[in-house]
Structure 1
Amino acid sequence: MSSAINNSSPSTGGAPTNQDKPSTLTPEQQTQREKKLTTLQTSIATLESQTAELEAQLLKTKSQLKNDPSITVRRHIRLLHDYNEIKDIAQGLMGLLADARGERQIDVQRGFGVGDRD
């Protein structure tokens, strides 16, 4: 009995596979591999360049902001709160005026140029 090792693959009908000999590539396969590698390296370089450009643009945009974004958000919230308080007072006054005139409140609002959705 011989103890020879069989390097053939049963699924390929006995032909050796790349798994059996991973370092053996045909010249065509080597060329394709090098092309893929070059393409990937080019893509990586392009993406790194785009990332650097976007980071520079972000820094430029941040430097042009007048205030820190969190300060701006807090200011907007305060202004909205003030606006809502003033609006509530104005609606209350228009309601009193409508009662005094015997008109609907919507008619008083329209008389002051306030739209239905305001």
Structure 2
Amino acid sequence: MPFSPAINKSQPSQHDSPHLTSSENGQNLSPQQLQRERKVKTLQASINDLQSQTQQLEGEIAEVKAKLKNDPSITVKQHIRLLHDYNEIKDVAQGLMGLIAEARGVRQIEVQREFGADEKD
């Protein structure tokens, strides 16, 4: 039997692939692997840039919200409460004008006009 020297395949030799290149961590990489590595680095840089833009925009949103006078839901609740108060006052006023009209023996619309209240009020 002819003698063949033992070849250690764990470390590629220059003869295994003439296009191998060393990467940053000392591994020999093919051109395709180097290209993928560059794409990964580019994508990671893009992700980092987008994350910083997102943080900046979230900060701007927080600033704008802080400048708002009230939270919209609080404003809506306040308007509903004010409308309820208005309706209660209007009901009392119409009741009083009805009593005045009855005491005078006139129609309620005449009393409303006297007080400057329109029919639609």
Q: Which of 1 and 2 has greater Rg? A: 2
Q: TM-score, normalised by structure 2?
A: 0.47
Q: TM-score, normalised by structure 1?
A: 0.48
More helix by share: 1
